[in-house]
Amino acid sequence: MKIERVQVIPFGIPIRKFADAYTGFSVSNAVLVKIYTDDGHVGYGEACAWEPEFYGETLESVSTTIVKYIAPEIIGEDPRNINKILSVIDANLARITCAKEGVDLALHDLLGKILNVPVYTLLGGKFRDMIPVASEIGIDTPENMVKNAFEVLGLGIKVIKIKGSSNHILDVERIKAIRKAVGNNIELRLDPNAAWDVNSTIKTMKLLEDCNLQLLEQPIPGWDLKGMSHIRNNIGIPLMADESIWTPQDAIRIAEYGAADLLNIKIAKSCGLHLGKKIENVAEALGMSCIAGTEIEPGFSMIAKLHLAASMKIHPLASEFTELSLLKKNILKHNIEIIDGCVKVPDKPGLGVELNEDMFNECKYVN
């Protein structure tokens, strides 16, 4: 059995307007990756490509990288040797995470179908059938953010992550308005996306002590682990790393600095499930818990996060699926239902979902 062909198809799904500290957008762009074997199996993956301001990768670069630099290296390989294939890719391409994510997910979907097992089995099995989910609300006026919070709650989601900005005073106003509106029984998180500095973070968090936040996520740049440690020692809630965590080695450095209580694993940053699972394993050994984070994944990558979260031994808080509240179309045949704040993990072979070809054809970009 060998990999015979790799196909890439760029597409974009319209979403409700959303903004974070990096940019604003109204489309979730991605590249569909299909890997074919010589005996008729097909694996589906998806490469995130919607925020070049953060990742430095675009629809065009992801597509070209996979076609010109990855596909020639893996065609002819046995798809059952995922470790070997990904090692070959890493040896030829450094730092490109989104393109690698698309291939990684397609390989896992493919191998699951070949072996007739769900992807979570390839990750060591599952600890849970239902994944508690959280959703973000983007930067806007306090009034609109309160409205968006109630829309998220109306979907059955019980945990909200509030995006922060460089305007600390307005952020405090936004968060206090949301807390007052939703009451004390809803869990609220705060994520400034590294837009703050150490001193302003500590000052702002003191102003928000009465808001009973569940956690603070990455308020300062990812490289500043010393600053993260100082913040962690001066606030009264857990600190979660995001921009600081890309690799298992990052997890070790974060632990050495005491720079976070938990890690937000985003499969677009970890090059997919293979490295994402390694990060989670290292975190467990270091005594840190993890969640699966959101990059507003439009389809197969959203489902891959469910498999990753299901495989985590320590998963104390909701993983993030902002896409459930933002996507205007579903390119999957799978109906994703929120039940008591949770989403069920698919248990069919591979990722366990199929592409809705008609809906996908409405979303794909034609060159």
Active-site hit among 266, 269, 277, 305: 266
What ranges make up the beta strands (E) of 122-180?
Answer: 130-137, 159-163
Active-site hit among 100, 126, 163, 269: 163
Report whether 329 contacts 14 (CB < 8 A).
yes
Using CA atoms, how far residue 101 sits from 22, 31, 57, 98, 107, in Å, is: 21, 10, 12, 5, 10
- 17 φ, ψ (degrees, to nearest 5): -55, 135
Using CA atoms, how far residue 115 sits from 68, 74, 277, in Å, is: 29, 20, 20
Based on the number of CB atoms within 10 Å of its own CB, is 45 exposed (0-12), middle (13-18) or buried (19 or more)?
A: buried
Using CA atoms, how far residue 267 sits from 31, 46, 105, 242, in Å, is: 14, 10, 9, 12
Distance CA 295, CA 115 (A): 29
Q: Which two tokens stand for residue 57?
A: 């990768």
- 198 φ, ψ (degrees, to nearest 5): -60, -55
Q: Give the rounded distance of the alpha carbon of 52 from its chain centre.
A: 15
Give the residues across from 35 on adjacent strands: 6, 43
163 is known as an active-site residue? yes
Distance CA 35, CA 105 (A): 10
Query: Max CA-CA distance within the chain?
Result: 62
Distance CA 18, CA 137 (A): 8
Report the catalytic residues: 163, 266
